[in-house]
Amino acid sequence: MKKFLLICLIVFTVKPSNAQSWVYHPFPVDSATWMQESVVTDSYLYSRTYLMGDTIIGSNIYHKIYSTSSWGWFSSSYYPGSVGNNIIGALREQNKKIYFYDGMDGTEKLLYNFNLNPGDIAFIDSTFSQHDTIVVTGSDSILIGGAYHKVLILENLGIHNYGVPANWIEGVGSDAGLFEKYRYGFEFGNQLVCFAINNEWLYHTSSLHPYDCKYGVGISEQEGNKVDIKVGPNPTSGMTHLAISCNDRYQIDVINNIGDLIISKRDLQLSGTFVDLSSFSKGVYLIRLSDSKGNNVTKKIVKE
């Protein structure tokens, strides 16, 4: 009897600690960079996608996403091709679902759903008349930045069997690239080479890759000059105070719910300032603080 009680004590002691190990890792909201390699027959594409700044579309806050690539074609139907540094849309997360607002057609698409379990359909690819059905067949984990992120393992059960689907990594995207659905297909292949948050490379597939990750961080180095802003009162009926933490000259921008810049204060170097929303309509606004080195932070404020 004592042995049975001891076994029960061990089981109930260990079980909660295992449950705590599955911590959800949300998508990044600022200063994130994805670097990807795509191969089509004998040609290569190296591209970088990164987050910088926020905007409001409708009633949702999005994080603007930019891209730069060596040539203007991409294999994913989600990804509008571009050359150079171009804004291509915006991302947001809600209830473990990642949405992409496509800047080309002005529509929102579900990019990832991390609520899925083995046996669930991840998506049905309608690229061809014979659709591919992509399902979750299992889960795993991967160590990224000192923490284990859950990985959803996907397989193609479709009749057409267009390609081998990419696996989905919580807080990162797919292992083929942020917007890529397949790792391999007919005469093409994709892989996520590097992934970084706040200039720290957390995921790197090869130390010998020709696109060295250390050269791909955003469009500005953000070292040693962190910025912050505190807003109050919030909500407000008009005037609100901004408490500023910044070691550099900065600017303040206020953006309304359709993405228009309505207030801009530039070349400031004070510990605080005010913005007056009394002449604007009720709703949600973004207040963004930016310094000359490219550091920025965004806060949401509600006008009553």
Percent of the chain with pLDDT over 70: 74
**Is the pLDDT higher at 5 or at 144?**
144
What pLDDT is attached to residue 214? 53
Domain residue ranges of the chain, discontinuous segments joined by +: 32-215, 228-303
b/e map 227-260, b = 16+ CB within 10 Å: bebebeeeebeeebebebebeeebebbbbbbeee
What number does CATH give the domain 228-303?
2.60.40.1930
Cα–Cα distance measured from residue 246 to residue 252, given in angstroms and rounded to the nearest whole number? 12
Cα–Cα distance measured from residue 31 to residue 23, given in angstroms and rounded to the nearest whole number? 22
**Is the pLDDT higher at 53 or at 99?**
99
Q: Is the peptide bond before 235 cis (omega within 30 degrees of 0)?
A: yes
How much is the pTM? 0.64
Nearest to 252 by CA among 282, 286, 293: 286
pLDDT (tens digit per residue) in 126-140: 776 567 889 999 999
Nearest to 250 by CA among 259, 239, 240, 242: 242
Q: What is the mean pLDDT of the chain?
A: 76
Give the range among 80-84, 98-102, 177-181 with minimum mean pLDDT.
Answer: 80-84
Cα distances (angstroms) measured from residue 107 to each of 17, 99, 174, 269:
42, 10, 21, 39
**Is the pLDDT higher at 37 or at 208?**
37
What are the beta bridge partners of residue 69? 47
What pLDDT is attached to residue 10? 36
Answer whether residue 289 shows pLDDT above 70: yes
What pLDDT is attached to residue 100? 94
Sign of CA dihedral 174, 179, 181, 186: negative
**Is the pLDDT higher at 261 or at 97?**
97
Q: What is the mean pLDDT of residues 17-22?
A: 44
Give the range among 11-25, 116-130, 260-274 with minimum mean pLDDT.
Answer: 11-25
Cα–Cα distance measured from residue 44 to residue 49, given in angstroms and rounded to the nearest whole number? 16
**In the structure, what pLDDT confidence band is assigned to residue 117 with cuts at 50, 70 and 90?**
very high
Q: For the chain, what's the residue count?
A: 304
Q: What is the mean pLDDT of residues 239-254?
A: 83
Asked if 203 and 186 touch (Cβ cutoff 8 Å), the reply is no
Q: Which helix or strand (DSSP H or E) is residue 8 part of?
A: helix 2-20
Asked if 245 and 231 touch (Cβ cutoff 8 Å), the reply is no
Answer whether residue 161 shows pLDDT above 80: no
Nearest to 262 by CA among 241, 278, 248: 278
Answer whether residue 218 shows pLDDT above 70: no
What pLDDT is attached to residue 187? 66
Q: What is the mean pLDDT of residues 113-131?
A: 84
Cα–Cα distance measured from residue 209 to residue 67, given in angstroms and rounded to the nearest whole number? 20
Asked if 148 and 177 touch (Cβ cutoff 8 Å), the reply is no
Cα distances (angstroms) measured from residue 61 to each of 184, 196, 255:
34, 22, 11
**In the structure, what pLDDT confidence band is assigned to residue 198 with cuts at 50, 70 and 90?**
confident
What pLDDT is attached to residue 85? 57
Cα–Cα distance measured from residue 87 to residue 282, given in angstroms and rounded to the nearest whole number? 29
What pLDDT is attached to residue 153? 92
- Written as six digits, the tokens of 31 are 């200063």
